[in-house]
Amino acid sequence: MASLIDIRRRLRSVKSTQQITRAMKMVAAARLRRAQDRVLGARPYARLIGEILASVASRAGEGASPFFAVREEKRVLLLVIAGDRGLCGAFNTNVHRAAMSLIGSHKEWTEVRVLPVGRKAVEFWRRRRFPLAEKSYPGIFGNLQYAHAREISAYISKEFLEERIDAAYVVVNEFRSILSQVVRVKRLLPIAPEDASAPVAAARKEATAPAGSRTEYLYEPDPKTILE
């Protein structure tokens, strides 16, 4: 049986641990709040960029950009974005399950390469039979920068323009709330003008409006150059 001194020492140890974990919780909550603010703050910008792309594409025509070129999908690049850490429920598992389901539902794909982003994505897909892209991005979320997105997009664009792939898809979690993440699967390339953004219905409504009520835009330079 423990002595009174042992019990008091144990109580002090538990209280010290409690103080440490309370401080860790406060730091984690602050970091989570900053990350959440960045996600929510970027959405209006991303939504408007999509609307502009849809509007310009509808006026420039499908042949205005090589990124509109639709080819039979045989060789596909799959961008899978997961987290750097585990112990987060089904956050990573749902992404990988959706990616596997996407591949399984397209029997016509003869070659699938995976571009994993996040340490858990790299670890998962290295153990699978699908070849990885020349680059992978483990552990970038600790210091995520615009340069990362630019490098990834430049790589995917080059692969498509040089016809090493026929299409590119992304599988990623969409943030709804701290407890809710929704897996999204979206085709990145080729770009379909009618699917360039979710709010493109507004552009369609504008296109079908009476001649007197439709808004006309002046482009400088021309729509094709803007798309490029």
Q: Which residues are catalytic?
A: 88
Phi/psi region, residue 87 (left: phi>0; alpha: psi -120 to 50; beta: rest), is: left
Torsional sign, CA 20, 24, 27, 33 = negative
Sheet of 75-81: strands edge to edge?
Answer: 111-117, 75-81, 167-177, 180-189
Strands 180-189 and 167-177: antiparallel
Q: What are phi and psi of 92, to 5 degrees?
A: -80, -40
Neighbours of 207 (CB within 10 A): 11
Helix (H) or strand (E) holding 181: strand 180-189
